[in-house]
Chain A
Amino acid sequence: MKLIRKLEPLWWMLFGGGGFIAAFFLPGLILGVLLLGPSDLMSQGLAYPRAHALAASLAGKIFLCGVLTLVFWHCAHHLRHFMLDLFGHAAAPIAAYGAYGLALFATIATVSTVLAL
């Protein structure tokens, strides 16, 4: 737990950054891709060549990595504190290492997936 406590400013920074990014971009992405993606409205914009070109551009890669990884870290911080609320401080090491471990795994998965585009 010493390492987790020492890095507390980093977790809070990632949490804050994730909150900002989620508020800025996530509703637009969910509406535009996940909800309207299969509809005719987005059929041109999300056609494979265009979507691939958008995502595979340098700006697209930075955007995707930034948005997805920061949202994962934001959620991990929430999850850690939610577990503390549920199980108390006895669960602190499991909550911290579990939540941030998941976020780290998601970050590696995101970066490798985006770089493979």
Chain B
Amino acid sequence: MAIAALELLLGVAALGKSEDAWRAWLASLASPPMRAINLVCLLFSIYFAFRFGWVGRKIAAGRIGPIPRPPLPMPILGIAPLGGFVTLWLVLLVILGGFL
């Protein structure tokens, strides 16, 4: 995740320099080694997000003081954040792609 954040920071730096620097940075992402690294970053971040949502349901259900447990079964409590994450990623893709 740190590698992905670092790459994005380099992209922001290229964006701040010039149009040529931005294009060169985008072109550098198309090389096979960079694609492989970014694919690993994506898979790891998806794994992290899903694990985060799946573990988080137990904290939400059981740990918040005197508030009673939500009247929902545990799998639903897990699916809700995961659905939220995926929806947010799709919204981000739509914004980044200029489809909005």
Contact = CB atoms under 8 A, between A and B. Distances in A.
B85 A24 contact: yes
Contact of A109 (B9, B26, B48): B9
Interface string B6-23: 111101110110010011
B80 to A, nearest CB: 13
Interface string A24-51: 1111111111111110011011111011
Interface residues of B, number: 44
A75 interface: yes
A114 interface: yes
A51 B96 CA distance: 8
Given A34-B38, A52-B15, A55-B15, A28 B93 contact: yes
Contacts of A54: 95
A28 B94 CA distance: 10
Given A38-B29, A46-B96, A75-B1, A117 B45 contact: no
A22 interface: yes
Interface in A38-81: 38, 41-42, 44-48, 50-52, 54-55, 64, 67-68, 71-72, 74-75
A26 B45 contact: yes
A75 B5 contact: yes
Contacts of A55: 12, 15
Interface of A: 19-20, 22-38, 41-42, 44-48, 50-52, 54-55, 64, 67-68, 71-72, 74-75, 106, 109-110, 113-114, 116-117
